Amino acid sequence: MRRWLKIDLHIHSALSPCALPEMTPNNIVNMAEIIGLDVIAITDHHAADNVLPVYNLAKRKGIICLPGIEVQTREEVHLLCYFTAPEPLLEFTNHILSLLDQRVPSIGAQLIFDENDRVIGKKELFLHQSVPLTMEEIWHLAENYGACCVPAHLDRPAFGLLGQLGFVPPGLPVRTVEGTLRRAQELAGSGRYAGVITSSDAHSLEQMVMLGHTCLHPSLDSIDSIWHWLKNPDRQLVKTFVLDF
């Protein structure tokens, strides 16, 4: 039997204002290879320019890269949105970018790279600002573009759904959530959420190295099957927290 797939679906490139410049496409993919990740996702704040180079580099190494983005709602809740291909992600990202206040200048470098880690541009507006839409509005907008939505760091006080609102809005079809390393097993054991995953939320290469990872069943070995699992998770096909050795 093939081994379970080690995943990290929440990694920031140097396009995110708070990430280090070392978070280039090649560095991220090489680090993913070193620590044995089978599936990754680049989820920058309100931008996806570095997804395609990572997607292409990862593919050459046999690593699956799920196209993704992290969106900050009006309530300051972070929502991860995953797609089955880069194109709908880029279309959704353009929509989100058009809603941001273009006058707020960047505080970080917000670098855009090519596949050789050459800087080919940068975003001038500050990306880590709230989109002026509610969580429900963003959820449905993202789904219209073909996204599967996963609340990020659910139990974290800052920017987590439970930390910000204290509850999951009853009308929201939340199936999979991302928990912090500290509480993921407890969240999974509560039975409240069909799927619980852990991620690094890495803003540096060092942060990609975690104490434990979530693993998915070997049968989920494609972007489509992982996307469908996130949308409609089966508890038998996930190990929420596997200690790394």
Give one DSSP letter per residue of 73-85, joined into a string: -TTS-EEEEE-SS
Asked if 154 is part of the footprint of Zn ion (rule: CB under 5 A), the reply reads no
Closest separation in Å from C-beta 73 to Zn ion: 11
Q: What's at 32, amino acid-wise?
A: A
Buried b (16+ CB within 10 A) or exposed e, 143-168: eebbbbbbbbbbbbeebbbbbbeeeb
Asked if 44 is part of the footprint of Zn ion (rule: CB under 5 A), the reply reads no
**What does the per-residue mask of binding to Zn ion show for 191-210, with x meaning CB under 5 A?**
----------x---------
70, 152 contact by CB (below 8 A): yes
**d(Cα 185, Cα 62) in Å, to the nearest integer?**
29
Closest separation in Å from C-beta 152 to Zn ion: 5
Asked if 162 is part of the footprint of Zn ion (rule: CB under 5 A), the reply reads no
Closest separation in Å from C-beta 22 to Zn ion: 16
221, 64 contact by CB (below 8 A): yes
Closest separation in Å from C-beta 70 to Zn ion: 5
CB closest to Zn ion, residue no: 78
Q: How many residues bind Zn ion (CB under 5 A)?
A: 5
Nearer to Zn ion, 42 or 226 (CB): 42
Closest separation in Å from C-beta 71 to Zn ion: 9
Which residues partner with 45 through β-bridges? 70
**d(Cα 199, Cα 214) in Å, to the nearest integer?**
7
Asked if 155 is part of the footprint of Zn ion (rule: CB under 5 A), the reply reads no
Q: Which stretch in 91-99, 140-148, 155-163, 215-223 sits in contact with Zn ion by CB under 5 A?
A: 155-163
Asked if 128 is part of the footprint of Zn ion (rule: CB under 5 A), the reply reads no
Q: Which stretch in 48-56, 67-75, 99-107, 172-180 sits in contact with Zn ion by CB under 5 A?
A: 67-75
Closest separation in Å from C-beta 236 to Zn ion: 28
Asked if 152 is part of the footprint of Zn ion (rule: CB under 5 A), the reply reads yes
**d(Cα 227, Cα 239) in Å, to the nearest integer?**
16
Chain-centroid distance, C-alpha 46: 11
Closest to 4 (Cα-Cα) out of 239, 243, 241: 239
Asked if 78 is part of the footprint of Zn ion (rule: CB under 5 A), the reply reads yes
Name the H helices within the chain. Answer: 25-34, 51-60, 86-99, 135-144, 161-164, 184-190, 205-208, 223-231
Q: Which stretch in 76-84, 125-133, 168-176, 214-222 sits in contact with Zn ion by CB under 5 A?
A: 76-84
- Which residues are near Zn ion by CB under 5 A? 70, 78, 152, 159, 201
